[in-house]
Copies of this chain bind each other. A is one copy, B any other.
Amino acid sequence: MLYCGVCHSDIHIGKGELGDVQFPFVGGHELLGKVVEVGEGVTKFKVGDICAVGCFVESCMTCEMCKVGDEQYCHNGMTGTYNSDKKYGLALGNKEVKTRGGYSGSHTVHENYIIKIPDGMDLEKTAPILCAGITMYDPLRHWGYTETKGKTVGIVGVGGLGTMGIKLAAAMGHRVIAISTSAKKEAIAKEKGATDFCVTSDPESLAKYAGQCDLILNTVSANHDANLYMGLTAKNGVLVQLGLVTQPHTVSQLPLMFGRKSLAGSLIGGIAPTQECIDFCFKHKVYPDCETITADKLNWAWEQLEKGGNSAGIRYVIDIKASLAGDFVPK
């Protein structure tokens, strides 16, 4: 293991906020490492390759979703990279012990769930692409925005996901409207590549951008009124919800009908799209804004994330080698 990103989900899951958690818990689903050993029959990787692992390490490989490369929606259930039951014999080790993630010195993963990292990629900033990056890239890809240019993409929320969304959509050649409740986010949104900024607390700003976004990626994970963003969605447009929002939305049917609009959801991405996302980020030099830490700073990083300390969209990345070299982890 070389690096592992720290995702807000690690906190939710580690603290048992999204269901039971098995201790000892090892989080981390943005893994980056170097191959040190390969099993018999492995063909995709060789010792020395730089590679990465994202949010899941197994799926059934036989259902329709796995066959079309949407393993994240596996009909039989993907196995999350941490705190998940091992199901398909691809995630090795004691079956009584749930999977453990990338806050670790080494990892063994089936080659089908590993992404190749191109030579020359900035490794210190790559790990968060495996979750934050693909979460934004996959809906852009699914709704055709990697195949066209010049559309208008709205990104709601200028945090860790939002800034990646702005960078990706801009690199694809689209006009990007950053959308936020706070006018204070305008400078950072424009620095990341947004051409326009919509403040949802300002009725004039809402009116200015009404009906303009062909696609909106909404990263808000707090409860909110989706109709607000539906008003910014263009005719034929799609509003994609990405946050783990628990309170149902109240959605009016007539605006959907009179503009052929859609309210949709999306969750990370499959293996092939993740590879495509990594290759895209390498080619276009799109990286998350990262702050590298050592493992002894992990509690501090969680605290920062919990109190909104990554409001500028910074992703914390654990430098595993540097951590192991220090006193924190017993050799």
Residues in chain B near residue A258, CB distance under 8 A: 73, 265, 267
Question: How many angstroms from the CA of A260 to the CA of B241 in the assembled complex?
Answer: 10
A251 within 8 A of partner (CB) = yes
Of chain B, the residue at the smallest CB distance from A245 is B253
A241: contacting residue among B70, B242, B257, CB under 8 A: B257
- Report the interface size class on chain A: 20 to 34
Question: How many angstroms from the CA of A246 to the CA of B254 in the assembled complex?
Answer: 7
For residue A154, give the distance in angstroms from its CB to the closest CB of chain B: 17
A251-B251, A254-B265, A257-B267 known, 18 other contacts, Cβ within 8 Å = A73-B235, A75-B235, A238-B262, A241-B253, A243-B253, A244-B253, A244-B254, A245-B253, A245-B254, A249-B250, A249-B251, A249-B252, A256-B263, A256-B264, A256-B265, A258-B267, A260-B264, A263-B264
B235 touching A253 by the CB < 8 A rule?
A: no
A98 within 8 A of partner (CB) = no
Question: How many angstroms from the CA of A235 to the CA of B250 in the assembled complex?
Answer: 22
Give the number of times this chain occurs in the complex, counting copies.
2
For residue A72, give the distance in angstroms from its CB to the closest CB of chain B: 9
> Given A248-B250, A253-B241, A253-B249, do A262 and B263 touch, yes or no (CB 8 Å)?
yes
A262 touching B262 by the CB < 8 A rule?
A: yes
A70 touching B254 by the CB < 8 A rule?
A: no
A13 within 8 A of partner (CB) = no
Mask, A247-280, CB within 8 Å of B = 1, is 0111111111111111111110000000000000
A171 within 8 A of partner (CB) = no
A142 within 8 A of partner (CB) = yes
Of chain B, the residue at the smallest CB distance from A73 is B235
Residues in chain B near residue A241, CB distance under 8 A: 253, 256-257
For residue A228, give the distance in angstroms from its CB to the closest CB of chain B: 14
What are 5 A-B pairs with beta-carbon distances under 8 A? A238-B262, A241-B257, A244-B257, A246-B253, A263-B263
Mask, A100-114, CB within 8 Å of B = 1, is 000000000000000
Question: How many angstroms from the CA of A245 to the CA of B254 in the assembled complex?
Answer: 7
Question: How many angstroms from the CA of A103 to the CA of B3 in the assembled complex?
Answer: 73
Residues in chain B near residue A252, CB distance under 8 A: 248-249
Question: How many angstroms from the CA of A75 to the CA of B234 in the assembled complex?
Answer: 10
B267 touching A260 by the CB < 8 A rule?
A: yes
B257 touching A242 by the CB < 8 A rule?
A: yes
Mask, A62-106, CB within 8 Å of B = 1, is 000100001001010000000000000000000000000000000
Question: How many angstroms from the CA of A256 to the CA of B259 in the assembled complex?
Answer: 20
Question: How many angstroms from the CA of A241 to the CA of B256 in the assembled complex?
Answer: 8
Residues 279 to 315 of chain A near chain B (Cβ within 8 Å): none
Question: How many angstroms from the CA of A235 to the CA of B267 in the assembled complex?
Answer: 12
A253: contacting residue among B142, B236, B255, B265, CB under 8 A: B265
Residues in chain B near residue A244, CB distance under 8 A: 253-254, 257
Residues in chain B near residue A246, CB distance under 8 A: 253-254
A253 touching B248 by the CB < 8 A rule?
A: yes
Question: How many angstroms from the CA of A243 to the CA of B256 in the assembled complex?
Answer: 11
